[in-house]
Every structure is written in C-alpha cells, then in structure tokens.
Amino acid sequence: MLLAIDIGNSSVSCGVFDLDECSGGHSSPILDFKITTKSISSDEYALLISNFLALKNIYPAPSSVYSRNTSDVGPNVSFIDRAAIASVVPALTDTLARAAELLSGQPPFIVGTGIKTELGIHIKNPQQLGADIVANAAAAAEISPTPLVILDVGTATTLTVVDKNKNILGTIIMPGLRVSLSALSGSAAQLNDVALRVPPVLIGRDSVESIQSGVLYGHILMIDGFIRNIREQYPELVASDKLSLISTGGLSDRITPYLRNKFTDCPALTLLGIAKLYILNRNRFH
C-alpha cells in the first residue's frame, strides 16, 4: 500500500493506493482525507494520519515505529509500506517526510526535479514548477486526452496548459477565492465576514451579495475568459484536437457548476498524480 501526501498551504491531503491496482492503470484511492495544515511535530502528524487509516483497517508497516502486533489488528487488514510526497510548503516537507517514514518504515519518495514524469516541461525554469502542478499534469494526461487545461481551485487558483504531446506549456496563477475574499474584507472596515457561496443574483442588493458576486462571479468570469483566450491566442494548441478540461482542488465545487466551459471534476487528481509518479520512479527510488 502506498500513502500519497499532498502538502498544501491550507491542508494536507492524504490518499492510500493499492500499488498492484495502480500498476495496471488508473486507480482511485482506497481512502483519502484532509488534515488542516498545522505547525505540529512529525509524531503528531503520524498519529493523526494513522487514526484516519485505522478507519479503513489500514495500519502502519509492521516494521515501522508505529507498528502494532499484527495479531492485535484483526483480519482483512492492510499495511502502509511505501510513501510519496508532493509539497508546495518547503517548511513542512521535512516534517511530513519524517511522519511518512514513521508510518511506512522507510524514507518517502518526494516529487521534485530530476524525476521521471513522461511530460515535457516547456517553461523558462523547470525548477520553479510546483510539485502539485507536475502531479496534476501527470494524472490528467492519463485520465483525459491531450491537449488539456487543468483548473486547480485552492489557496491559489491555477490553470495549467498541456499540449497534445504532453508538454506543460505554462501556468496561470490567480489569488484564490478565500484569499480574494479575505483581502477585500480585511481592507474595508464596514464589511463583515461573508460566506463563500455564489449569490442568487449577479448585481448584489446588499453588501453581502455584492461581495459574493464580485469574488465568486468574478472568479467564474475570469476562468471562462482565460479558457476563451487560450483557444484564441494559441490556435495551434487546439488546431485539430478537442481541448480537455479537468478541475480539482478543495474549492472547485464552488465555481465549476457555474462555468460556461464544462470541466470534468477529479477531486483526488493530485494524489493520483503522486501515485503515478511514484510508480514511474520506484525502480530508481528503491
């Protein structure tokens, strides 16, 4: 069993994959969950993760620090014996890597420069490309035909473009929904906390609806505009191929139902990509 960990600014997402099933192609995680990103120790992260795993009768590797006597956990159990990490929070990478090692009994594979991806990286400085973007593209290129655009709605909102030859052409990065809402509320003394949901009207009739319209519909119109302009400004990208659209991220469901461009939502996309990258590199890793 592989424990995949996606370290984000707001949350740490975890997924468990059966490597035998993954090796045969696309496979959904057996279990996936999120933990709020916190400044806690490796031991505390390991304990939190192991508690979630136990809900599905999954336990740390028998050789790990947190292992239990296998006779104590009952029948039909599974054990974590591999781990892989993608991180956009460098300060937490070592902490979660140690937690993953405590659970799996060996150092985790970490998504970074120099690994095999089956993707072309056509940007100015490949080292600046986020591990989550690489993982998203690796999974998306397996799930949907290329060319494609990946929408990731989280702390930041990103649009990543992959051409028909599986080359990452670049990424558009925008302030995320909560970042935009916090910035607006924090800079205007008369604005109270506003729920992050699409209002029933476009033109707000009070301050709450007005802010919701500006932040949510503003995001929706911006994304639709980017997709339109990508098609117009890069005609060679979609000259003879349909442009696939895939969405992911913890806040994607807030806006994708309202987009004119229809995205295929894949909440576990980053975790799927981490698992795929592990499989591509495990012979070199071990």
Compute the distance between CA of residue 137 and CA of residue 86 in angstroms, rounded to an integer.
Answer: 13
Look at residue 279 and tell me if it is in a domain.
no
Say if residue 102 is in the same domain as residue 125: no
Please tell me whether residues 228 and 159 are part of one structural domain.
Answer: yes
**Domain, as residue range, for 34:** 2-110
167 closest CA partner among 151, 150, 152, 146: 146
Digit-coded pLDDT (tens) for 243-260: 999 999 999 999 999 999
CA distance 91 to 39: 9
End-to-end CA distance of the chain: 15
239 and 131 share one domain: yes
Q: Do residues 143 and 211 both lie within one domain?
A: yes
Query: Quick one: 215 and 96 in the same domain?
Result: no
Share of residues in the chain with pLDDT > 70 (%): 91
> Are 73 and 143 within one domain?
no
End-of-domain residue from the set 57, 79, 110: 110
Q: Are residues 103 and 150 in the same domain?
A: no
pLDDT band at 65 (very low <50, low <70, confident <90, very high): low
278 occurs within a structural domain: no
Look at residue 253 and tell me if it is in a domain.
yes
Q: What is the pLDDT of residue 112?
A: 92
Dihedral of the alpha carbons of 195, 197, 200, 206, in degrees to the nearest 10: 30
Sign of the C-alpha dihedral, residues 162, 14, 86, 101? negative
Out of 110, 145, 178, a domain closes at: 110
Q: Is 274 among the domain residues?
A: no
281 within some domain = no
Sign of the dihedral through C-alpha 102, 103, 104, 110: negative
Q: Could you tell me if 20 and 101 are in contact, meaning their C-beta atoms sit under 8 angstroms apart?
A: no
The reply to whether 260 falls in a domain is yes
pLDDT of residue 77: 82
Residue 92 sits in the same domain as residue 124 = no
**Which CATH number belongs to the domain containing residue 76 in this structure?**
3.30.420.40
In a domain, 277, yes or no: no
Q: Are 251 and 169 in a shared domain?
A: yes
Residue 207 shares a structural domain with residue 128: yes
Contacts of residue 154, Cβ cutoff 8 Å, sequence gap at least 6: 8, 9, 10, 176, 249, 250, 251
Model confidence pLDDT, tens digit, residues 71-122: 555 567 889 999 999 999 999 999 999 999 999 999 999 999 889 999 999 9
Residues 103 and 143 in one domain: no
Burial call 139-149: b when 16+ CB within 10 Å, e when fewer: bbbeebebbbb
pLDDT in tens, 159-182: 999 999 999 999 999 999 999 988
Number of domains in the chain: 2
Q: Is the residue at 115 inside a domain? A: no
Does the active-site annotation cover 132? Answer: yes
SS3 of 88, please? coil
Do residues 12 and 6 touch, judged by C-beta distance below 8 A?
yes
Of 280, 233, 264, 283, the C-alpha closest to 111 is 280
Are β-strands 156-162 and 148-153 bridged in parallel, bridged antiparallel, or unpaired?
antiparallel
Query: Catalytic: which of 132, 152, 163, 265?
Result: 132
Cα(191)–Cα(187) distance, integer angstroms: 9
Decide if 111 contacts 274 (C-beta within 8 A).
yes
63 pLDDT higher than 80:
no
Output the pLDDT for position 194. 83
Within this chain, do residues 158 and 77 fall inside the same structural domain, yes or no? no
The residue among 85, 110, 135 that closes a domain is 110
Task: Check if the beta carbon of residue 119 is closer than 8 Å to that of residue 18.
Answer: no
